[in-house]
Amino acid sequence: MLKRAVGILMAITMAGTLVACGNRAQATGTNSAENTSEGTTATEVKWPKNVEIVVPAGAGGDTDFNARLLAQKLSEKLPANFVVSNVNGNGGATGTRQVKDAENDGSSIVFYHTALLVNKASGTTDYGFDEYNFAAIAGLNVGNVVTINSKLGIKTLQELLEYTKEHPGELKMAAQTGATSYAVAMQMKNAGFDVNIVDAGSAADRLAAVLGGHVDVILAAYGSVKDYVKEGTLVPLAMDGEDDLVVDSEGIDIKAMHNLGYDIKLPFYYFFAFPKGTDDGLVDEFNAALKDIIETDKEYQDKIYSSYYQKPVFIPREDGLNKFSEIDKLLEEVDFSVK
């Protein structure tokens, strides 16, 4: 009888312990799924309720489009609400600095691109990726297209080069000081294109400027100018990225400038980065969700391609930093002092 009573008492005690453990796990958000196949327990990741994705560019462009689509997908995969804020200004430096100086609790993240390196190379800022907890490359832009007003009657990049030599400084080329458009414009100046580079603001502002006749040449994502190309208002001459833009189904075949023999090229990657000191476990969990979206979400892939002819790519932390290190070396060759 005594043994039976002791057995019942032990069973009650064990049950109470299990319930208490379950309640603690529920309260902290942990569960048995956190145990790895090797039997170790993963570090608990605590996400803030809201995460601000700072986009250092204006609303309505390709960077903003990519960020908003990914924010929607990330909100569905992670226990946080991802919200995009456009913080434009100073060639993107205003937004990148905001995240650099933000709390490292996971509530702030920057979504930007190669312009972060251009900012530093051109003297707009004095910091690079060393001031962040870099997450991953989250997409490859096919590059921007050198686009001109059709009224000029110029049909090729070579014709543009010859025209600028015959009419030095006459054509106005819009750029945003310190941003990628500025770096490519300076590469073109270094290569002999005698254009007058003017600061015309963001991508949307530059498009408005060329359509309004205020400037003659711009760099723009092809997706943002394709309708004007089709109607004959604008003429695309060449891409500034690594690859040609070829879309057989739409009759698009635009060569990259460096494939045409010009020493002009600027690889264009989108990336995510958290403030320095952000928990690595949180960044790793973020990257796992991001990788899954980029590589398996067909709806996401189709929207990116149909809008901007971009093919999503995920490149993890160290490999991504190596890609940007190569761009850093390329920018060292650009003479930003040329007037």
- Tens of pLDDT along 141-181? 889 999 999 999 999 999 999 999 999 999 999 999 899 99
Grade residue 40 by pLDDT with cuts at 50, 70 and 90: very low
pLDDT value at position 202? Answer: 83
- 50-141+268-331 topology per CATH: D-Maltodextrin-Binding Protein; domain 2 (3.40.190)
**Looking at the predicted structure, is the pLDDT value of residue 245 above 60?**
yes
What percent of the chain is predicted at pLDDT more than 90? 80
**Do the strands 252-254 and 81-86 form a parallel or antiparallel pair, or are they unpaired?**
unpaired
pLDDT value at position 203? Answer: 86
**Looking at the predicted structure, is the pLDDT value of residue 198 above 50?**
yes
pLDDT value at position 338? Answer: 84
Mean of all residue pLDDT scores within the chain: 88
For the entire predicted model, the pTM comes to: 0.84
Beta partners for 239? 145, 256
Calpha distance 236→219 (Å, rounded)? 9
Grade residue 182 by pLDDT with cuts at 50, 70 and 90: very high
What average pLDDT score do residues 22-34 get?
36
Give, rounded to a whole angstrom, the gap between the first and last alpha carbons of the chain: 100
pLDDT value at position 43? Answer: 59
Q: Are 197 and 182 in contact (CB under 8 A)?
A: yes
Question: Measured at the alpha carbon of residue 32, what is the angle toward residues 10 and 29, in degrees to the nearest 5?
Answer: 105
The DSSP H or E segment spanning 142 is none
Grade residue 225 by pLDDT with cuts at 50, 70 and 90: very high
Grade residue 16 by pLDDT with cuts at 50, 70 and 90: very low
Q: Where in the chain do CATH 3.40.190.10 domains reside?
A: 144-260
Options 3.40.190.10, 3.40.50.80, 3.30.70.3340, 2.30.30.100; CATH of 144-260 = 3.40.190.10
**Looking at the predicted structure, is the pLDDT value of residue 104 above 90?**
yes
Q: Where in the chain do CATH 3.40.190.150 domains reside?
A: 50-141+268-331
pLDDT value at position 22? Answer: 42
**Do the strands 132-140 and 81-86 form a parallel or antiparallel pair, or are they unpaired?**
unpaired
Among all chains, which residue has been given the structure tokens 């006459």? 170
